[in-house]
Structure 1
Amino acid sequence: MSDLTLRDVLDFRPDPWQATAQVWGRLAQGVDDVAEQVIRGTRDLVHVWPDGRASAAAVGKAEALRAEVSNVYNPAKRMADALEHHAYAMVALRRQAEEIVASARQAGYHVDMVTGVATAPPSADTAGGLDRFSRARESVLRYLPTVVDYARTQDDATANTISVNVPSPQAGFGTGQLDGVPREVVEAQSARSPAETNAWWASLTPLQQEQVLRRFPELVGGMDGIPVSDRDVANRSVLERQSALFQQRLSTVEDREGYLWSILRQGRFSDVYPDAEDPRTALEGELRKLASERAVLSGKLRGIDAISTRLHDPDLPEAYLIGFSSDGDGRAIVSVGDPDTADNVLTYVPGTGEKLSHVGGGIERADDMAEDTARADKDKTTSVVYWYGYDAPDTIFPDAGVDSYAEGGGRVLDTFQTGLRATHNGDSPSHNTVLGHSYGSTVIGHAARGPGFDADAVVFVGSPGVDVNHASDLTGVRPDQVWATTAEHDIIRWIPDWDVVHGNDPSEPDFGARVFASDPGEPDDEAATHSAYWDQDNIARWNMALIATGQLPKVQ
């Protein structure tokens, strides 16, 4: 129990405590930075040097070093927080004590500077009772020992924190083993906001973060609020694992197909389906199912190969895999450059027909826009994100005519944009633009209807409508930052205007968007015109780069 006295409380000065807290805080931050470098520099050792006794020894030593360095952070951070809180709490208690002591002395009370007990002067009650004011003052004075008790409790709490976290001269600072992060804790983050998830992630030591990335990559890889570089690590792991599983399954399917075709040619249907009423029909039915599965597997592997090839291309800017899933039609979010450090972030949302098997084309568009924005503004960095993070319509009719895909996609896009804000660590907030092509613009329309949409500008390219009839209905972005273009010969112009499908055409004057130029396209190939906005010489492409980099007066 602390033996702190009232005199100690009155004499408390926060400066030494705050200065010491800053020292511990700098130590924690420095250790965190070094630990991250150590982890990133050694985590792949087992992959590049997988075999042999020397490899095992090196990997073991690296793991021990990572644990030792990483485990310094939490104790140092707790020390910094405890010392800072102690200074704040004790100053508040000192001010209370100063006010009470001043009041007591003014009334002639004697104050015990050890316990805080205030004693009334002998003449205080000679009339047989205190007046109402004196009784109120006595009630306040009786609180002074309680202030001292609070100060002692605070002193004990700080002393306990110091004794638990200060390094042992014999054992060192980082020898203790911190608890791992259980799956249920990671899963619980999905119900939290990106900002809350980001704060949780920052509270983990680098070693705990590595453990989560290693054990639960499928959970954190798609979690908004986790830094992009860490999501990239998780998703690459999932990508490699899924590729291996699909390759294995494809090999099994192809082997089975080869066997069944051999049986079919030999007419030995009953060898495979001896109990079937019609063995040949049963065998042919299985062949059709296998062919369908083979097509799906081949398509997904094609998409995985496109992603992997881009991630490892040394001749292009560094790319990050921010999201990946092979479920259903699949999902993929790939950024060219790191959105967490970029001055500008352009998120590109594709439209109808997008699948994992088709992501190569979308990633190429992201590369094209990254090249354009780099030329448009050489003084600032721009990251371009290919965001296929929603279930896109499979067909133009009837799927692309309904709102449900846009409603679901809009919610996910909204959270993703909020996550980009939560993880950005530049000196100032990035300039964020969200660009949608075709049905992708409809997705943005649903996301931008909410006032909390985190975007500085939205761009609609070849849009069928965004399910509102005026730019001012998109309350998540300023009306003067709503941009649109539709080529003269784009087939999308055949879609009825206003409320028949997805609302007013954003490129029409009565919508209220800022319309920019695009090449007219081919009147004899309106379908091709719908995808020609990214052609090399199309003026729309340069306009998009100018909008994304904030050079609005130059937009044509």
Structure 2
Amino acid sequence: MPTWQQLRDLKLSDYTTAADGYGKVSSRADAAKGRVDNEMLSKLHETQESDASKAAVGDLSRLSRNYQYLHSECGLIRTALNGLATELAGPQKKLNQALEDAVNLKFTVNADGSVHFPAPVPLLTVPAQGATDSPRPPLLPDPNQAKAQDIADRIAGAVGDANEIDGRYAGTLRKLKAAPGLDVTDAMLTDAAQDTKDVQKATGHFLPESAIPHDKSAADNRAWWDGLTQEQRDEYSTLYPERIGALDGLPSPVRDDANRMVLAQSHAQVDIDLQNLGPEPSKMIANPSGSYPVAITNPAWRTWNDSKNRLNAQLKGMDAIQKRFDNTGKEGLPQAYLLGFDTKGNGHAIIANGNPDTAKNTAVYVPGTTSKLEGIGGDINRMTNLWNDTQGFPGSPSTSTITWLGYDAPQSIVPEAMEKHFAHEGAPKLNQFMDGLATAQGGPDASHTTVIGHSYGSTVVGDATLKGHLGADDIVVAGSPGMLVGDARDLGIGKDHVYAEAAGDDPVPLGGKIAGLGGHKWGVQTWHGIPYDAGYIETVPSDEAFGAHRMKTDTSGHSDYWNSNTQSLHNQAAVVVGRYDQVKE
């Protein structure tokens, strides 16, 4: 507990100097991680396939994990020290002002914080003529006593404030330490996540989460970010990685750095949660009621199994994202950027091949029914295949292909995919992301942008055009059940910039027409002889009446439009790079 003398003599510059040192270590660790991931590992992936190279990859991956941990923990220490110095500056200033007032009044401040002041000079009066007794001096209030009490109260208040601040930070700073050794374990990463929460609580007055924009436009988000100093940006990124990683309009490298920390800590926590599940309970138990059936499913097993399946599903998705990171450099594949990630509900992720901020061509892929974090690997592969195909066009400028699982997709064909509310809820999120993408790129004309919708994802894309400005130069849909409009002209970008693919044996376009996700009513129909109540069939993008370019498709079924070495994929790549003359209709 500091005394007023310690508070007076405290050199806050010692804290800020130490904070600068930890900040430099944090920044250097982050830069070193980038070099390991995007230079060393990518080169090994590109050129080496030996057992020795695999061992080197393992060592470098551990080194990358170490750097990431250093980046986070040292960043937290920097933020805590800066917060401590900033907050203590207030009580110290309050104390120094009180001490200065005491000096000016010639008061003495005692070691215990009490204030001594000189006794007043009594006021003497001349006795009246003929008076026999001299009157006593009148008792007047001593103004120095009130002044001294005020100074003592201010000194006590300053020391009390400093004690509260010191207590709030001291416990948090003591926790910011690492275990010895070279391995960053899951336990260390989950501890780092708890450290982040502790520092958030301690620095709430210094670096409040409420200052981060919420439900603002991408332009507002970027204006807030640009208004911060570099040190403040680093502190916010370290302290609130989930919020910064999800903030549309910020530079992609910033969001990627924040989201990778969230991913690493989430993966570690899921690993630990799986270990803590314990052994599998008996699946069947005797019926406690004694009636038929004699055995029933054990409720404890059902809870255990549901938790195991949920956690394994999350791990599968996170491992797929990490695999894409690890594949950087293979066959020229560019660095990946994680522009969004969380495990809420079925999970969400946004992954870019190449930096979209600097790409001259950008493609954003919106997946459809049954999409969730567990299956993100397939969606990532589709955009990887698309990126690879765009590289086959001579002279094409840089391209970034993005998997956008930023909405809650329907998880069943019937009844969920028949409902429109998934599109209504996802469309504003897509528009916000697209707005943020253009903001980070430097404006709507900085990159030629194509939005690609698969299955129900095309319905989300259609609704996004109805709810705001999608920000796309071209729209491509594959296996679309309908876009909530009946004509390509209704999408707001001109029908010459709308492209559709539908395999001959893909049942979804017909099913979508019956479900009512199109916009124009036609004659009464039946589907496979099954009557339906709507009494009409609606247009979908693959219908000639819709007015879109109907691209040649040489793939089969509902999910093969992104298979390598196919015309279906090549047509999409031609649109993405603006080589419309190469599209076969």
- Specify the TM-score bucket, using the shorter chain as the normaliser: 0.5 to 0.7
Q: How far, CA to CA, are the matches of 2:421 and 2:542 in structure 1?
A: 23
Structure 1 residue 210: Cα displacement: 1.1
What is the CA distance between 1:458 and its match in structure 2?
0.7
TM-score normalised by length of structure 1:
0.63
* 2:247 paired with 1:223: yes
Relative distance call for 1:49 and 1:398 in structure 2 (3 A) is closer
Q: 1:327 to 1:510 in 2, by over 3 A?
A: same
The residue aligned with 1:303 is 317
In structure 2, the gaps of 5 or more residues are: 1-22, 34-61, 87-204, 520-538
Distance in 1, Cα, partners of 2:254 & 2:571: 33
2:257 is the alignment partner of 1:252: no
CA distance in 2, matches of 1:301, 1:435: 27
Q: CA deviation at 1:483?
A: 1.1
Cα 1:37–1:317 change in 2 (3 A) is farther
Alignment of 1:283-298 (within 5 A): 284-298=298-312
Question: Aligned to 1:509, which of 533, 544, 547?
Answer: 544
The alpha-carbon distance between structure 1 residues 351 and 283, as it changes in their structure 2 partners (threshold 3 A), is closer
2-structure distance, mates of 1:59, 1:200: 24
Cα gap change, 1:516 to 1:491, in 2 (>3 Å): same
Structure-2 change in CA distance of 1:191 and 1:496 (3 Å): closer
Q: Deviations over 1:425-451 (max 9, x none)?
A: 499610110001111111100011245
Listed as ranges, the matches of 1:293-332 within 5 Å are 293-314=307-328, 315=330, 316-332=333-349
Pair 1:394-2:408 in alignment: no
How much has 1:379 moved relative to structure 2? 3.6
Which of 168, 174, 183 lines up with 2:209 in the alignment? 183
Shift of the 428–453 alpha-carbon distance from structure 1 to 2, 3 Å rule, reads closer
Cα 1:427/1:437, change in 2 over 3 Å:
closer
CA distance in 1, matches of 2:394, 2:460: 28
In structure 1, the residue matched to 2:572 is 544
Match of 2:504 among 488, 491, 506: 488
Residue 478 of structure 1 aligns with an amino acid whose one-letter code is G
State the match for 1:119 in structure 2: none
CA distance in 2, matches of 1:293, 1:549: 44
**What amino acid is aligned across from residue 222 of structure 1 in structure 2?**
A
Structure 1 equivalent of residue 158 of structure 2 = none
1:117-146 per-residue CA deviation (whole Å, 9 max, x = no partner) reads xxxxxxxxxxxxxxxxxxxxxxxxxxxxxx
CA contact (8 A) 1:469 1:511 kept: yes
SS at match of 2:249: coil
Letter in 2 for 1:416: F
Counterpart residue type for residue 298 of structure 2:
E
Distance 1:549 1:468 in 2: 26
Which segments of structure 1 move beyond 6 Å, counting only runs of 4 or more?
36-39, 44-47, 280-283
| Cα deviation, residue 389, structure 1 | 0.6
Q: Distance in 2 between matches of 1:467 and 1:248?
A: 44
Q: Is the 8 A contact 2:478 2:501 kept in 1?
A: yes
Distance 2:362 2:247 in 1: 18
Return the letter of the residue paired with 2:549. Answer: R
| Mean Cα deviation higher: 328-337 or 496-505 | 496-505
Provide the rounded CA distance (Å) in 1 between the counterparts of 2:24 and 2:475. Answer: 37
1:518 corresponds to 2:553: yes
Distance 1:418 1:237 in 2: 25
CA–CA distance in structure 1, aligned partners of residues 488 and 24 of structure 2: 46
- In the TM superposition, 1:119-138 aligns within 5 A as none
The answer to whether residue 257 in structure 2 is matched with residue 233 in structure 1 is yes
Match of 1:202 in 2: 226
5+ residue gaps, structure 1, are: 1-35, 72-178, 271-275, 522-528
Tell me the residue number matched to 2:28.
Answer: 41
Contact kept, 8 Å, 2:418 with 2:515, in 1: the verdict is no
Q: Distance in 2 between matches of 1:345 and 1:496?
A: 28
Cα deviations by residue, 1:491-531 (Å, 9 ceiling, x for unpaired): 2243163773444111111111121111163xxxxxxx111
CA distance in 2, matches of 1:453, 1:349: 13
AA in 2 matched with 1:229: P
Tell me if 1:193 matches 2:210: no
Q: Match of 2:214, SS?
A: helix
Q: Could you tell me which residue of structure 2 aligns to residue 352 of structure 1? A: 369
Per the TM alignment, residue 207 of structure 1 is displaced from its structure 2 partner at its CA by 1.3
